[in-house]
Chain A
Amino acid sequence: MDESSVLIGGKAGDGITEAGMIIARLFNKLGYCLYQYLDYPSLIRGGHNFAIIRAAEKKVGAHRDEVDYLLALNQDAIDLHKWRLKENSIVIYDSDEVKSPSMGGIGLPFKTFAEEAKAPKIARNVGLIGAFAGAAGIEEEVVEEVLRKEVPKSVDENLEVARRGRQGIEGREGMKVERRSYPCCPVVTGNELLALGLLRGGLDAYVAYPMTPSSGILHFLAKVADEFSIKVVHPENEIAVILMAQGFAYAGKKVALGTSGGGFCLMAEGMSLAGMAEMPLVVVVSQRPGPSTGVPTYTAQSDLHFVMNAGQGEFPHLVVAPGDAEQAFCWSATIVGLAWKYQVPGILLSDKTLSETAYSFNIEEARDVPDIKPVIWDGGGEYERYAPGDDGISPLAFPPWPGAVVKANSYSHLASGITTEDPREIEAVQDKLLRKEEGLRREVERLASVRTYGDENSSTALLCWGSNKGVSAELGEELGLRVIQPVVLNPFPANRFREALRGVDRTVSVETNSTGQLARLIRYHGFEADDSILKYDGRPFTVDDLESRLKEVAI
C-alpha cells in the first residue's frame, strides 16, 4: 500500500498536537486518508508528547511502529523513537535543542528561525513542518494554504519560519509524497465525532465534569452550543452531572453526559435512578487504564463489565461501543433514539484511542442513522407516567402539560408514579423493566449491531470491540482472516453474532485489557474465544504489534 508515517515529537507545550493536525491536513490536501495517534503524559509542561500521522491511499484505522519521517523538537523525540527508523527514513531535528544524532539526519536551527522571523518560540513546530514539507516535496502553496487556516496568530511570521525551514532542506529532499485520490475529508477527533453524532441525534443539552479522555466532547459542544442551540453545563461533580441530566430528561430534553471510569463510579447511583425512574440518558464513558486514577492519558478497554452492571438492582443497560469514525457518528445519533424510545440509560463506550485519535471522516459513509422515535402520550384519559404499554414502554408527557400530572419516582411505584410496597406491584415494576429490555434486544438485533470485515469465508475469526476494530480490520484484510465486531454489547445481539460466526472454527479475541472482557461476555451467551490477545500497557495495538501477536498464536 502507498502510505507514509510521520512522527513529530517534543515537550508538552511545544504544540505537538497542533503540528500533528497541520501535517494531517497537508496529507489530506494531497488525497490521503488520515489516522493520527496522539501520545502524551498527564502534565502541562515538559514530558514527552508525540503524534504519529499515518497517511494512506485507502482507509486505515491504526498506526504503525515504523515511521518514514521523524521530526524532533527535543532530544527525547530522537532517543525514544530511533527504533522506529527504517533504512530510508528521514530525520529532521531542531539543532538548537538536539545533539546531532549518531544516525545522521538534518539539523536546522528552528529556534533561531523563529527568533529571526519575530515569531513566538512555539513557531519552531511550523519551521519543522516547513522543512518536512520541503523534504517530502509538498508544494509551498499547499503548506501556505493550510498554515493560513490553522495558525491562530502571527500568521505571516509563522509563514516566514516555515519558509526558512523549507529553504534549509533544499538539496536534501527525500521520498516525494505523491498526490493520491482519497476524497478530501474533514480530519476530526473521535470525541468530536461522538459529539456531532449526538447533535445529529437531536441533542438538546450536554452535562459533564472534565475528565480525560472525555473532555474533548465537553470542549467541542461548549464551543458550538450557540450554533446548535444546545445547553452545555459543567456542574460541581459527576453525581450532580447525572442527576442534573435527569432533570433535563424529565422535562423532555434530549441530554447526554460524558466522563471516564472514575467519574462514572460516582454516577452509579444516578444510573440506577435512571433505570427505575425510566429516564432516557446517553452516558459517554471514555475508558482509560484503571484501577483508580490509573494512567489518565492512555488507553484501555477495561470497563465493559463495570458499565454493563453499574447501579443497584436489575434494569436494562444499553451499551454501544463504536470502533471507528463513521460508527462514532452514526451510533451516537442512534443511541439517542434508542434511549428515548425505551426510556433507559444508554452508554456510549469509547476509549482514549477512539476519543482522541483524529480520523479522515467521510459523512457520506455515515448516513445510516435509523429514525427511532420516542412514544409520546396522545392526551387521552388520565395520564400515568408508568402506564403499561407495548414492550413495557409508557407514553411520555412533559410538564407543563395541562391535565397531565407527571410523577417520576425512584421508589417502586404504581403506574401513576406513586410509591408502592405491594408485592404484586413490585413484581409488575420489575417485569415492565424486563419487557423493555427484551424489546430493546429485539430492536438491536434489527440494527447493524454486529459488523464483519476481512475475508468473510475464512474459518478463523478475530473478535474485537471498540477501537480495536481499526487494527483488526486492516490485518483481517491483509492476512485473509474474518473479523467480527459486536458494536452493541448489551443487550447482546446473540443471533447476529451467531450468524457472523457461521463457518468459523477458530476464534481469537483482541482486546486492550488484561482479563479478556469480550471473551467473558460472549462465554455468557454460549460462545467461546479459543485464544485471547491482550494488551494492557496503556498503548493501543499498532498494526505491527498485532501482526506479531497473531503469529504467536499461530495465525
Chain B
Amino acid sequence: MKPQDLATGAENTWCPGCGNFAILNAIKPVLADLDEEGLIPIENVVLVSGIGCHAKIADYVKANSFYAVHGRTIPVATGIKLANPDLTVICFAGDGDAYAEGLDHLIFAAKRNVDITTIIHDNRVYGLTTGQYTPTSPSGFKGRSTPSGLDVPPINPLEIVFASGGTFVGRGYSHGIDLLKEIFRSAILHRGFSFVDVLQVCVTFFNMYDYYNQRVYTLEDHDPLDGVRAQEKMKEWDYNSDGPIPLGVFFKKEATTFGDNFKKFNAGNSDLEAAIRKTLEGYI
C-alpha cells in the first residue's frame, strides 16, 4: 500500500499553508508503511475525529473512521477499542476539542491508560469558528471573543496528560514532517495511552511559523523512560513564555492498559435463555 492509496475523492478545504496538511501527509505514509510491513493491516485502523478544521482529516483518509462531535473523540475511541481490542484506534482532536470541550475525557483516558493514540492539532486558536482563544492560546491573545486581550495564561497539556497517568507523551510541529512521522509511528505502536500535541499553525487566524521556527529544537540524548527528566523537559516551555520549545517523545512507560481484565465477548453462553433461567434460580 502506498500513501496515495489512502486518498479519498473529498475536496480538501483547508487554507493553503494550513498546518493540518503536515499531519495528513505524515499519517498517511505511517499507516501505509504499517500496513505494508504487516504490522497493522489498514482495515484494523479506525480514525476518530472531533469537530473543527482538524476533523476534516476523517474525510481525507480512505480508512475506517468515526467523524464524531466536538470534544468527544476520546470516549468514542475508547468504546471502539474496548469493543474490539484488535483495532488500532487513532483520535485526531483540536485543542479546543480536547482541552476545552472534552478535557475530562483526556484526563480519564490518560488515567485509564486505554490503548489508543490521540493526536492534537494544536493551533492554539479556534479556526473553523473564525478566531477565538483556546486553552493553549498565550495570555494577551486578541481573539474575536477577547478583543482587548486574553487575561489568563494557557495550560500545558503535556503536563496534564503526564500527571494524569498517560504512558506516552510527545510533541510535534507542522514544520518538520519527518519528525512528525517518527513520533506518530512510535505513538501508534506504543501499547497504552499515547498523546501527541502537534504545534500546528493556523495561517489565517494565528500564524506562528516564524515564532516557532526560531524556538523549536528536537530532543536528543533524551531517555523517555526517565520520568523526572521528561517532566523537566515538559516544563521547559509553558505555551506562554519565550523559552525554547522541545519536540519529540518526552515520556514513555510500559503499564497495564484499560480493559485487559475484560473477558472476551461470548466466551460461553451459546444458550442465553438457559443462562438467564439459571441466574433467576438464585432469586427464588
Contact = CB atoms under 8 A, between A and B. Distances in A.
Contact of B51 (A251, A400, A410, A416): A410
A187 interface: yes
Interface in A450-494: none
B276 A407 contact: no
Contacts of B263: 225-226, 229, 231
B272 A202 contact: yes
A184 interface: yes
A231 B283 contact: no
A114 B51 CA distance: 63
Contacts of A406: 64-65
A81 interface: no
Interface string B209-252: 00000000000000000000000000000000000000000000
A141 B241 CA distance: 79
Given A229-B265, A405-B64, A410-B68, A246 B76 contact: yes
A403 B265 CA distance: 24
Interface string A384-427: 00000000000000111111111111110000111100000000
Interface stretch (B14-22, B79-87, B140-148): B79-87
A249 B262 CA distance: 17
A248 to B, nearest CB: 4
B113 to A, nearest CB: 14
Contact of A228 (B8, B67, B68, B275): B275
**Overall SS of chain B's interface:** mixed
Interface residues of A, number: 66
Given A399-B64, A405-B64, A410-B67, A361 B280 contact: yes
Contact of B276 (A199, A255, A402): A199
Given A28-B284, A240-B108, A251 B69 contact: no
A406 B272 CA distance: 30
A244 B72 CA distance: 9
Contacts, number: 188
A365 to B, nearest CB: 13
Given A205-B82, A277-B66, A402-B43, A196 B276 contact: yes
Contact of A233 (B48, B82, B282): B82
B25 interface: no
Contacts of B86: 400
Contacts of A408: 65-67
B79 A186 contact: no
B175 interface: no
B80 A247 contact: yes
Interface string B48-84: 1001000010110011111111001001111111111
Q: Which 5 A-B pairs have the closest CB atoms?
A: A247-B79, A186-B283, A251-B83, A243-B75, A244-B79
Given A186-B283, A231-B263, A237-B104, 16 more contacts: A199-B272, A200-B276, A230-B265, A231-B259, A231-B262, A244-B78, A248-B80, A250-B80, A253-B265, A399-B45, A400-B41, A407-B66, A408-B65, A409-B66, A410-B68, A416-B8
13 contacts: A185-B284, A227-B279, A244-B75, A249-B79, A250-B79, A251-B83, A399-B84, A399-B87, A401-B43, A402-B41, A409-B66, A419-B59, A419-B67
